[in-house]
Amino acid sequence: MAYSFKGGLNFGFVYIPIELHNSIKEHNIGFNMIDKNTMSRIKYIKTCVDCDEQPVKNEDIVKGYEYEKDKYVIFDDADFEKLKSKKDENINIIQFVKLQEIDPVYYDKPYYVVPKGAIKAFNLFARALENEQKVGIAKSVIGTKEVLLALRVKDGKMLVNTLHYSDEVQASPQVESAEKLNAQELKMATAIIDGMTKPLDMSEFIDEYQKRVQEAIVAKINGKKIVAPKTKAQESVINLMDALKKSLQALERDKAKIINRAPQGVKKKSKGAEK
């Protein structure tokens, strides 16, 4: 597996050489842009404003910052590398926090942390981090961007998440309501939540829409039409209390179905049969 970052992890005066590996594998279905009249693929040609529509080669494209109208300073990869200090090449832990202190809205991209040396130091740090149920907050430069990171350990495996900075997270547009809540409705809403609560097993969740897209591709290849899946329309309930009651009733029905489907236990033999 190719790494996304190679450097070191600084924990106090302890240095651990590591690599970061992508932990997510996308399963998106790729579609090409096609001209419906000729059934030919659409091409995107890079040109410049003063090139008379002539294509520009990738090796001739550089990054430029516009400091005045139509005036640029040019930066290449070597310039960005020169801006990095030795410290920026590593992941430097700043502090430790409890996991629940980090609002999930700040989480961005996850990576696996793989030690490339100093194994004992890595295992020691990982065990201490997991035992204390703490998260290390760190900084590093990945590519051309300084990133804020959260290091955590679960089941002996170390992961790191890039974090959004506070000024990148926008305020919620939700407006607080002064409307008072009904105690009975709150009790029923709580009962619905309790009734739908069970241990999380991520393997239970699959991308059902992508599966239907794949089936539709096969159908189209075989000259068949796409048939919309038959689903029961969502019943609209205007009254909140009625909606809560119907939700609880549906939960009870689902529980009854699960009980009825459960395999029956083996009946105990009678005393006479045991002889």
Cβ distance 192 to 240 under 8 Å? no
Q: 170-195 b/e with 16+ CB inside 10 Å = b?
A: eeeeeeeeeeeeeeeeeebbeeeeee
CATH class of the domain at 5-24+87-167: mainly beta
Q: Rounded to an integer, what distance in angstroms lies between the CA atom of residue 250 and that of residue 54?
A: 64
Torsion angles phi and psi, residue 109, rounded to 5: -110, 135
- In three-state secondary structure terms, 180 is coil
Instruction: List pLDDT tens digits, range 62-92.
Output: 899 999 998 999 988 888 877 776 667 789 9
CA–CA distance, 162 with 110 (Å, rounded to integer) = 7
| Residue written as token pair 């690599």 | 19
Check whether 274 has a pLDDT greater than 50: no
**Collapsing DSSP states into helix, strand and coil, what is residue 227?**
coil
For 20, the enclosing helix (H) or strand (E) is strand 14-22
> Tell me: the pLDDT tens digits for 195-251?
889 898 988 888 888 888 888 888 888 988 888 877 776 666 678 888 888 888 888
What pLDDT was estimated at residue 237? Answer: 62
List pLDDT tens digits, range 102-134: 999 999 999 999 999 899 999 999 999 999 999
**Could you tell me the pLDDT band of residue 266, with boundaries at 50, 70 and 90?**
very low
- At 174, phi and psi to the nearest 5? -65, 135
- The Cα–Cα gap between 10 and 137 comes to 12
Tokens of 159: 């992961």
- Where are the domains positioned within the chain? 5-24+87-167, 42-81, 182-195+240-259
pLDDT confidence of residue 4 = 79
